[in-house]
Amino acid sequence: MAKSEAAAGGTRGSTKQGRVTRTASPYLSDVERAAMRETLEERRRARSGTADGESDVLAKIAEMAKPDRVMAERLHALIRASAPTLSPKTWYGMPAYAKDGKVVCFFQSGQKFKARYATFGFQPAANLDEGDIWPTSFALKRLTAAAEERIRRLVKKAAS
């Protein structure tokens, strides 16, 4: 990429010594770029056989700020108990749970993307199809007993 392209907001620039440097992208935020780097690292670790889903998920949860961390810890326990066939793994730097290698559900910290709520969602591998319309993600402000029960039922169905 030429200097003029970098000045116009490209992802590469150059220095007098000919070294390539990175400049800000007008298309992705710093947080989104970091998530993409995490994804590439997750894939490298999976290919090399060094990924440990349980440890990786617990490490990601431990990095979260307290409100989201507490919810993520509770969701992790709830999912592991409700759907033991799902395997924990990280997915775009988030805790996720997969069946046959395909992500079924995930937790996204609200604080990671500076959102006002965390998200608990399902991917197409989830067995939740119901008629012509069904929910694929939920905003979470806190986990109440009723919310936990609803998530427990959905996760069981999604994993079936």
Single pTM value for the model: 0.76
For residue 109, pLDDT over 90 is answered with yes
| Domains of the chain with bracketed CATH | 52-159 (3.90.1150.200)
Kindly state the tokens that stand for 89.
Answer: 């793994």
| pLDDT tens track for 125-144 | 999 998 899 889 999 999 99
CA distance 9 to 26: 6
Burial class (CB in 10 A: 0-12, 13-18, 19+), 47: exposed
Q: Is the pLDDT of residue 95 over 80?
A: yes
